[in-house]
Amino acid sequence: MKLLKTFFLMSLAFNLSASEKKSLDDLADNINSNEFKQMTSVVVSQNNEIIYEKYFNQGNIDYKHDMRSASKSLTSLALGFAIQDGLIDGLNHPIVKYFEDKLPLKNSDPRKLKITIQDLLTMSSTLECDDWNSASRGNEERMYLIEDWSGFILNLPVRGIPPWKKTPEKSKYDRAFSYCTGGVQVLTELVERMTKRKMSDYLQDKLFTPLAIKKPEFSQTPLGFTNGGGGARLTSRDWIKIGNLILNNGVVYNKKIINEKWIKESLIRRTVVDEDRDIEYGYLWWIYNFKINNKIIPAYAAAGNGGNYLFMIPELSASVVITSRAYNTNYMHQQSQKILTDYVLPVLLKSKD
């Protein structure tokens, strides 16, 4: 993608038509009237310039939002940097190669020894880990009660596939998706083992400082590792900068920050999350197809509990950040996606025309 003339977003470019501005004003009114609940920000960038920026419910330009599992996409970027630095030489190595100090594993099974880095990146390992199933042995809430998070995950049994779900062999990409925060923590600890640094510090040097992002807030595990599965706190503008870096294929100020190859590989569709809703998954990035006026608009996203999103829409050269405190509600994702599809995408489509 062509690098456009401006990257850092120091001013607002409210160059919208009257009808486009009214549509976004209506959005703000609906948020303020609580039609959309607990929203804290909507920020839209197109062609590397902010064209809309509004904060709600104590949100503000300096507020560092807890976007929960959107942090997982930062772990994907950290892994890309480690590969770029020659510290990890591929994704097809068994993960236990890097955790030999934890052998022998409980629930011994030869299939566990074949689980690769790529399996964890795509949420498709054979471990019995499913955060969307409260009965799962690997559910993240159980992990948080254990001191050694990666050990907890690696010691899980192999999962079975219930008869109402597709096995990997019958799935679109030969992988069976199972949302597993703990697997991302294993990847985080892999990065820290190979870089010999906290992942938060490594990302500061590799990603945040080059993007002029002040030090984000990261939590830690009981053993002192960076929590790579959730909870990193950044401002909405920080996330916009990250989105625009991805859209610009890893380049900022004509300087390559991260390899274009890693970005492209990260956004390839690799597992099916929800076949009915056409939601798929790359390397810790969500992939959506939104339908607007009979037109399919692909979007890539970092997503988290509460309805928190960084959306990237390459076709429209746009990054969109939507933040919310609607944690653990039954409407959190629906309302954020409705904001995108009913208000933001129509304006971006008109702006492009």
Task: Work out how many domains the chain is built from and give that number.
Answer: 2
CA angle 331, 333, 337 (to 5 degrees): 115
Query: What is d(CA 325, CA 233) in angstroms, rounded to the nearest whole number?
Result: 13
Residue in 141, 52, 91, 85 with CA at minimum distance from that of residue 257:
85
pLDDT of 118 strictly over 70: yes
Statement to judge: residues 243 and 351 lie in one domain: yes
Statement to judge: residues 217 and 89 lie in one domain: yes
Statement to judge: residues 138 and 9 lie in one domain: no
User: Where is the domain boundary, 200, 231, 262?
Assistant: 231
User: Where is the domain boundary, 231, 250, 268?
Assistant: 231
pLDDT of 3 strictly over 60: no
pLDDT of 2 strictly over 70: no
Statement to judge: residues 274 and 138 lie in one domain: no
Collapse the DSSP code of 41 into the 3-class scheme (helix H, G, I; strand E, B; otherwise coil) and give the result.
strand
Q: What confidence score (pLDDT) does residue 88 get?
A: 98
Statement to judge: residues 51 and 142 lie in one domain: no
**Cβ pair 4, 317 in contact under 8 A:** yes
Statement to judge: residues 127 and 47 lie in one domain: no
CATH number of residue 127's parent domain: 3.40.710.10
> Mean of the pLDDT values across residues 109-114?
97
Q: What confidence score (pLDDT) does residue 293 get?
A: 86
User: For residue range 237-258, what is the model confidence (pLDDT) as tens digits?
Assistant: 999 999 999 999 999 989 999 9
pLDDT of 61 strictly over 60: yes
**What is the token pair recorded at 139?**
């559910």
> Mean of the pLDDT values across residues 195-212?
98
User: Where is the domain boundary, 198, 213, 231?
Assistant: 231
Statement to judge: residues 73 and 206 lie in one domain: yes
**Cβ pair 55, 12 in contact under 8 A:** no
Query: What is d(CA 54, CA 44) in angstroms, rounded to the nearest whole number?
Result: 9
User: For residue range 276-327, what is the model confidence (pLDDT) as tens digits?
Assistant: 999 999 999 999 999 998 899 999 999 999 999 999 999 999 999 999 999 9
- Would you place residue 269 in the very low, low, confident or very high pLDDT band (cuts 50, 70, 90)? very high
Statement to judge: residues 90 and 217 lie in one domain: yes
pLDDT of 7 strictly over 50: no
Global confidence as pTM: 0.94
> Mean of the pLDDT values across residues 123-150?
98
Q: What confidence score (pLDDT) does residue 15 get?
A: 63
Statement to judge: residues 76 and 198 lie in one domain: yes
Statement to judge: residues 308 and 171 lie in one domain: no
pLDDT of 6 strictly over 80: no
Q: What confidence score (pLDDT) does residue 353 get?
A: 66
Domain range for 81: 68-231
DSSP 153-168: HHTSPBPP--TTS--G
Statement to judge: residues 310 and 327 lie in one domain: yes
Residue in 5, 23, 30 with CA at minimum distance from that of residue 348:
23
Query: What is d(CA 88, CA 321) in angstroms, rounded to the nearest whole number?
Result: 31
Q: Which residue has the higher pLDDT, 9 or 235?
A: 235
Q: What confidence score (pLDDT) does residue 71 get?
A: 98
Label residue 295 exposed, middle or buried (CB < 10 Å: 0-12, 13-18, 19+).
exposed
Statement to judge: residues 213 and 168 lie in one domain: yes
pLDDT of 21 strictly over 90: no
Cβ-Cβ contacts under 8 Å for 164 (sequence gap 6 or more): none
Distance of CA 53 to the CA centre of its chain: 21
Distance of CA 249 to the CA centre of its chain: 17
CA angle 240, 307, 173 (to 5 degrees): 85
